[in-house]
């Protein structure tokens, strides 16, 4: 058997501790798959006293994670610190300069700096592996980059944030409102004290930028991702979605269009019979559509210590066995600067919910606003009569252009009979 692959782990939080436990428990299994042992030789963390669930008495400790990368015995640096800048970035940059392989679970860092770091890894002749950065334990990066290499992909989409999916699932199942379910998710540990990263679509945008780069062979373009969260979704919208035959999901979607590559994260209404609609709770799912393979659906746990550690271990096994490819599937210099498609040019169907005063002429005014922007109405739901009272009115449209829809919404919002901002959710026909 070859000499052991010696690794250094920077960051021993939830994922770091889970990775150490997996490597210890599955040591024999990993050695068989890798053709050599994988040994944790060094670690760096702020608190040495905390119990990580494994014996670290024989492991070298470093106060300075960057200094650890210069340890001459280390073959691979595993960065599990997190954050797009600061120590995490310094650790990876230092490791690559020292010709050390890098494994990371850092989605924010790869979304911000992935293209540049991939070029640095190629120059050094080492691997930059990041399976754990997207969708936790789901092997989506390897699938897109290698297993589907014989396909031209038309679309990649998925549920990329478990917190938002848990909230939307629980709202539907319990009939409760967003704020109440969010508070429960925070108590259960599914949502952070400051949940904005998850519920405003930022986390999903980081992951989508990475997926789009791998799927379509283009430089990572985080600024090109349109991001919208789920704060405005109400129980009323979820109930109407069910009535119309849809489920509401926060999706990340990368799609080739005549205008370039769309990258967008926002709530979507998806038909109940589609595979993505059945993915519930904290689970993630990614769907890829290729010209030869058709539709491929991957589902699993998108976060947590052990699922993420599973992906870290998979990258380590590949490196140990000498199986590694350019980070994004093709050399960084060959990434195609495919133009991005502006969100204003998106074409699709829409769900619109209005709260209006029940009085004559309201629907005619709304219809006029849609007509003037050439937006065709497909259906309308209006409950009973309550003269002078606030009532919901729901409209769905045929396929139209986003910019026209936004102009119509702005005009409708200005009507005296409309009592609160209109709620718009895009309908996806998967």
Catalytic positions are 207
Angle formed at CA 298 by CA 292 and CA 302, multiple of 5 degrees: 150
Q: How far apart are the first and last CA of the chain?
A: 49
Query: How many Å separate Cα 289 from the centre of its chain?
Result: 17
- Nearest residue to 319 (alpha-carbon basis) of 82, 104, 119, 148: 104
- Angstrom distance (rounded) from CA 411 to CA 370: 9
From residue 308, give the alpha-carbon distance in Å to each of 105, 107, 261, 320, 372.
8, 12, 29, 19, 50
Strands 347-357 and 423-427: antiparallel
Sort residue 35 into left (φ over 0), alpha (ψ -120 to 50) or beta: left
Tokens of residue 151, six digits? 């396909």
Phi and psi torsions of 402, nearest 5°: -55, -45
Query: By C-alpha distance, which of 365, 369, 370 is closest to 400?
Result: 370
Residue 79 exposure: Cα atoms within 13 Å on the Cβ side: 33
Distance between CA atoms of 92 and 77, rounded to whole angstroms? Answer: 8
């Amino acid at each position: 058997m070859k000499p052991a692959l010696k690794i250094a782990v920077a960051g021993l939080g939830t994922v770091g501790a889970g990775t150490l436990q997996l490597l210890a428990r599955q040591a024999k299994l990993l050695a068989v798959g890798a053709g050599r042992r994988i040994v944790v030789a060094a670690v760096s963390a702020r608190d040495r006293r905390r119990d990580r669930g494994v014996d670290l008495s024989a492991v070298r400790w470093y106060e300075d994670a960057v200094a650890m990368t210069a340890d001459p015995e280390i073959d691979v640096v595993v960065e599990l610190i997190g954050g797009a800048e600061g120590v995490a970035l310094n650790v990876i940059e230092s490791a690559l300069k020292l010709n050390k392989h890098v494994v990371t679970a850092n989605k924010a860092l790869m979304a911000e700096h992935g293209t540049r770091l991939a070029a640095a890894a190629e120059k050094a002749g080492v691997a930059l592996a990041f399976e754990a950065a997207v969708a936790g334990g789901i092997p989506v990066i390897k699938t897109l980059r290698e297993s589907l290499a014989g396909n031209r992909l038309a679309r990649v989409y998925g549920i990329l944030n478990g917190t938002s999916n848990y909230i939307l699932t629980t709202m539907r199942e319990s009939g409760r409102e967003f704020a109440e379910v969010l508070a429960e998710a925070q108590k259960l540990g599914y949502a952070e004290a400051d949940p904005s990263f998850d519920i405003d679509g930022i986390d999903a945008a980081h992951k989508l930028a990475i997926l789009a780069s791998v799927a379509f062979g283009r430089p990572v373009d985080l600024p090109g991702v349109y991001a919208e969260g789920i704060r405005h979704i109400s129980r009323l919208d979820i109930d109407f979605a069910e009535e119309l035959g849809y489920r509401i999901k926060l999706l990340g979607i990368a799609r080739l269009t005549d205008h370039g590559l769309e990258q967008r994260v926002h709530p979507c209404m998806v038909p109940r019979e589609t595979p993505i609609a059945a993915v519930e709770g904290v689970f993630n799912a990614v769907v890829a559509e290729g010209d030869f393979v058709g539709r491929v659906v991957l589902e699993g746990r998108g976060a947590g210590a052990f699922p993420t550690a599973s992906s870290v271990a998979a990258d380590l096994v590949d490196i140990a066995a000498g199986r590694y490819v350019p980070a994004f599937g093709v050399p960084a210099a060959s990434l195609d600067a495919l133009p991005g498609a502006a969100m204003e040019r998106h074409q699709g169907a829409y769900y619109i919910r209005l709260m209006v005063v029940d009085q004559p002429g309201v629907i005619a005014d709304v219809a006029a606003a849609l007509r003037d922007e050439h937006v065709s109405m497909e259906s309308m739901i209006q409950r009973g009569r309550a003269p002078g009272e606030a009532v919901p009115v729901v409209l769905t449209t045929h396929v139209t252009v986003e910019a026209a829809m936004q102009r119509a919404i702005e005009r409708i919002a200005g009507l005296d009979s409309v009592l609160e901002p209109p709620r718009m959710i895009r309908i996806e026909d998967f």
